[in-house]
Amino acid sequence: MALDIEVFAQLLPGKPRRQALEIRGEVTVRDVAHAIGLDAKDIGLVTIDGVQSKLDDVVKTDARICFFPYLAGG
């Protein structure tokens, strides 16, 4: 399974913002986060192919996953 991953802001300092990942079998967003070194507690929002998703959602083949930190502002 080929995944296109994009990590926003400072979730993975020192690592590339865009990554490709090959995974075999059924995986969740949480599995993908762990595979690239993200701590689930730091993730505020996840999208799969542009749709807001949850950490326990199953990832389909050739998906684009975006991880965002918690946002603050006003």
pLDDT digits (tens, 9 = 90+) for 22-70: 988 889 999 999 999 999 999 999 999 999 999 999 998 889 999 999 9
The confidence score (pLDDT) of residue 74 equals: 66
Q: Which helix (H) or strand (E) holds 29?
A: helix 29-36
- The answer to the question of residue 58 being in a domain is yes
Instruction: State CA 12 to chain mean position distance.
Output: 11
Calpha distance 13→10 (Å, rounded): 5
- The answer to the question of residue 63 being in a domain is yes
What are the φ and ψ backbone dihedral angles of 33, each rounded to 5 degrees? -55, -45
Name the pTM for this structure.
0.91
Q: Domain count for the chain, please give it.
A: 1
**Residue numbers of the domain that contains 9:** 2-69
Query: Residue 64 is encoded by which pair of tokens?
Result: 């684009």
CATH code for the domain of 27: 3.10.20.30
**70 in helix, strand or coil?**
coil
Q: Summarize pLDDT for 1-35 with one digit per residue, the tens.
A: 789 999 999 899 999 999 999 988 889 999 999 99
